[in-house]
Amino acid sequence: MLKKLLGIGLLLALLIITITTFGKSEKTYPDEEMVTVQKLNEIPELPALDTYGMNVSDYDVTEDQIRRNESLYVILNRHGVGPETIHNIQQQARGKVNLNRMIPGQKYRIYKNDEEEATTFVWHRSATDYTTISWEDDIAIENGSIPETISVASVSGTIRSSLANAIQAQGVSQRLVVELANIYAWTVDFYGLRQGDNFKAIYENRHVEDTYVGIGRIKAAEFEHRGHVRRAYYFEYGDQAGYFDAEGNSMRRAMMRVPFDYNPRISSQFSHNRRHPILNQNRPHYGTDYAAPTGTPILASGDGVITEAQYRGGNGNIVQIRHNSVYRTAYLHMSRFASGIRPGVRVQQGQVIGYVGQTGLATGPHLCYRLYKNNTPINSVTYDFPPSEGLNPDYMDQFLVRVERLDAMLDELDASDRLAMN
């Protein structure tokens, strides 16, 4: 009987403990919730940081832009930074950023503390890339970039006078003219555009913090020139990137048609019998003269090896490039050669090899550009250059999927959308 009573008592005790434990758990939950809410309410607000991670409430910020003949030393010294500090900054910057590449027009910020002492300098090297230099405690130099926002836009038009005018009439950046010219540099004669030629482009617009910063990549384009329609598609996959036609042939040719970043005016055509402006006699002119300001960069029209870089009589300063066993080019009347340009040096297409001048027999600053095929001079303006390497067959499936999507976008830009330009 005693054992039975003890068992009942033990059972009652366990039941009381269990009930008490659950009761405590239920009662403490609201208390814990209140503590949690209280702790959240006690968290201080984070300081307002600007684009460059600086707490703007702690500083007086001055925005400005680099002026002509200004350097980091000039700017910082004007804001009260001592020569020793500036020297230490320049030493620390080595290998991190080239402070000698500051150019007029680039924006910068100066941050000053409560004592009106400059402590931080932010230099915008481009619309997106910047460098932050701080010296409040120790010198710290960091490079950063502002993320871009990309939107896709389209434009189409009919040429009445020029491609530039047709694009400008629609309020699109003139940079698009340059990009289209680069894509079609080897396949379209931009000096022979006719009224009624048409163009289309699907392209990117770049924005940084809601500010438009320019044209991005052209994703696809169409150019109808003299009845021939040529479409180009940008494709990047594996080890290949560039513009290709619908069959995967590269839009890039073995040679550039014009050795400049833009298309300057032709002042004298290729001719087998031309009246020389200085000698006043008829003689062949085996080149195309491009009038351009003195100092305009001249580009190698293709990969190759420099075979000549010297002053040579009436040709003035001349550079010749052997591109392969078939083609070579010559560039005459340069004001000077680019750094490192000498016989035996290998150059790449688009590399600056010299600058427009008036050396030798020349009446004004221009480039005489000559193209030779198997040592025979040919007209670079009308010659149909062979294409460069096409798309790797292993990438064709992915490429064709992209072409189908871009074709649909280009087809939406029908002739009724084109804006005529008088």
CATH (domain of 331): 2.70.70.10
Query: Could you give the number of structural domains in the chain?
Result: 3
Please indicate, yes or no, whether residues 307 and 364 belong to a single structural domain of this protein.
Answer: yes
Mean pLDDT score, 207-228 = 89
Mean pLDDT for the chain? 84
Please name the amino acid found at residue 290. Answer: Y
Q: Which of 17-26, 331-340, 344-353, 393-402 has the lowest mean pLDDT?
A: 17-26
The verdict on residue 63 lying in a domain is: yes
Domain with 167, as residue range(s), is 149-253+390-420
Please name the amino acid found at residue 271. Answer: S
Please indicate, yes or no, whether residues 137 and 284 belong to a single structural domain of this protein.
Answer: no
The verdict on residue 50 lying in a domain is: no
Distances (CA, A) of 127 to 21, 48, 356, 392: 65, 23, 30, 35
Domain boundary residue, one of 99, 114, 145: 145
More confidently predicted of 227 and 388: 227
Domain boundary residue, one of 145, 166, 185: 145
The per-residue pLDDT for 365 is 95
Confirm if 356 and 369 have CB atoms less than 8 A apart: no
3-class DSSP assignment, residue 8: helix
Mean pLDDT score, 201-207 = 94
Mean pLDDT score, 357-364 = 91
Domain boundary residue, one of 122, 145, 168: 145
Token couple for 159: 């040429």
Please give the DSSP secondary-structure letter assigned to residue 6.
H
Please indicate, yes or no, whether residues 127 and 163 belong to a single structural domain of this protein.
Answer: no
The verdict on residue 27 lying in a domain is: no
Share of the chain above pLDDT 90, in %: 53
The per-residue pLDDT for 26 is 35
Q: Which of 29-38, 153-162, 372-381 has the lowest mean pLDDT?
A: 29-38
Confirm if 298 and 309 have CB atoms less than 8 A apart: no
Please indicate, yes or no, whether residues 271 and 249 belong to a single structural domain of this protein.
Answer: no
Closest CA to 421 of 156, 159, 154, 192: 159
Element (H, E) at 181: helix 175-183
Position 175 pLDDT exceeds 50? yes
Q: Which of 15-24, 195-204, 266-275, 373-382 has the lowest mean pLDDT?
A: 15-24
The verdict on residue 207 lying in a domain is: yes
φ, ψ (nearest 5 deg) of residue 4:
-65, -45
Share of the chain above pLDDT 70, in %: 83
Q: Which residues pair with 143 in a beta bridge?
A: 131
Mean pLDDT score, 351-378 = 94
Q: Domain with 81 in it: what CATH number? A: 3.10.450.350
Please indicate, yes or no, whether residues 105 and 135 belong to a single structural domain of this protein.
Answer: yes
The per-residue pLDDT for 161 is 86
Q: Per-residue confidence at 194, pLDDT binned at 50, 70, 90?
A: confident
pLDDT digits (tens, 9 = 90+) for 234-265: 999 888 889 999 999 998 777 888 999 888 88
Please name the amino acid found at residue 357. Answer: G
The per-residue pLDDT for 263 is 81
Q: Which of 54-58, 187-191, 391-395 has the lowest mean pLDDT?
A: 187-191
Closest CA to 135 of 88, 185, 181, 100: 88
Please indicate, yes or no, whether residues 356 and 368 belong to a single structural domain of this protein.
Answer: yes
The verdict on residue 3 lying in a domain is: no
Please name the amino acid found at residue 78. Answer: R
The verdict on residue 324 lying in a domain is: yes
The verdict on residue 15 lying in a domain is: no
Q: Per-residue confidence at 285, pLDDT binned at 50, 70, 90?
A: confident
Please indicate, yes or no, whether residues 319 and 409 belong to a single structural domain of this protein.
Answer: no
**CA pair distance 361, 276, nearest whole angstrom:** 10
The verdict on residue 62 lying in a domain is: yes
Distances (CA, A) of 265 to 255, 291, 337: 19, 6, 22
Place of tokens 């950046």: 173
Mean pLDDT score, 399-411 = 95
pLDDT digits (tens, 9 = 90+) for 287-322: 999 999 999 999 999 989 999 999 999 999 999 999
pLDDT digits (tens, 9 = 90+) for 44-91: 565 678 888 888 888 999 999 999 999 999 999 999 999 999 999 999
Q: Per-residue confidence at 204, pLDDT binned at 50, 70, 90?
A: very high
Please indicate, yes or no, whether residues 230 and 271 belong to a single structural domain of this protein.
Answer: no
Please indicate, yes or no, whether residues 124 and 170 belong to a single structural domain of this protein.
Answer: no
The per-residue pLDDT for 248 is 94
Please indicate, yes or no, whether residues 181 and 219 belong to a single structural domain of this protein.
Answer: yes
Please indicate, yes or no, whether residues 249 and 394 belong to a single structural domain of this protein.
Answer: yes
Please indicate, yes or no, whether residues 103 and 180 belong to a single structural domain of this protein.
Answer: no
